[in-house]
């Protein structure tokens, strides 16, 4: 889940949803919120359901997916809090910055990439996670 589509990386982020399609960004944010909510609630199957088919090909079972998440993405799996930052839309894909306070109390920045699926829903195609220089208040 660490890959970021090249088309999104080459474009500067824009603040908020005013320039990216507001409804699309809100829908993508809803997917992220739903996945984090499922992790928090212990519903790992529901969390896996928010992954795009490309991720499910890499992690074809719930167990392999959860092994990856719990091994490398603890801040996403068990955040103390999170807030949305900048968003970028490129065609049917959205990159969404998420500021996270991890279970260790440290700040992290996650860059989620999502793609619109044929069923009309955004699914997560990747997450890039790094420690943030921001300070939690």
| Res 21: pLDDT | 85
Q: What is the distance between the alpha carbons of residues 104 and 113, in angstroms, rounded to a whole number?
A: 24
Give the total number of structural domains in the chain.
Answer: 1
The range of the structural domain enclosing residue 82 comes to 14-131
Residue 13's pLDDT band (boundaries 50, 70, 90)?
very low
> What pTM does this model have?
0.82
- Report if residue 58 sits inside a domain: yes
- Report if residue 7 sits inside a domain: no
Whether the predicted pLDDT of 1 surpasses 90? no
Furthest C-alpha separation in the chain: 40
| Res 26: pLDDT | 97
**136 Rama sector, left if φ>0, alpha if ψ -120 to 50, beta otherwise:** beta
- Report if residue 107 sits inside a domain: yes
Supply the CATH number for residue 105's domain. 3.10.450.630
């Amino acid at each position: 889940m660490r890959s970021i589509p090249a088309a999104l990386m080459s474009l500067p982020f824009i603040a908020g949803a005013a320039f990216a399609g507001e409804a699309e960004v809100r829908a993508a944010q809803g997917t992220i919120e739903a996945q984090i909510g499922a992790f928090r609630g212990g519903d790992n199957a529901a969390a896996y359901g928010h992954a795009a088919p490309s991720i499910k090909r890499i992690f074809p079972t719930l167990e392999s997916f959860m092994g990856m998440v719990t091994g490398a993405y603890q801040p996403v799996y068990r955040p103390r809090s999170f807030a949305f930052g900048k968003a970028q839309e490129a065609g049917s894909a959205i990159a969404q910055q998420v500021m996270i306070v991890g279970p260790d109390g440290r700040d992290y920045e996650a860059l989620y990439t999502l793609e619109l699926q044929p069923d009309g829903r955004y699914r997560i195609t990747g997450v890039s996670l790094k420690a943030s220089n921001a300070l939690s208040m």
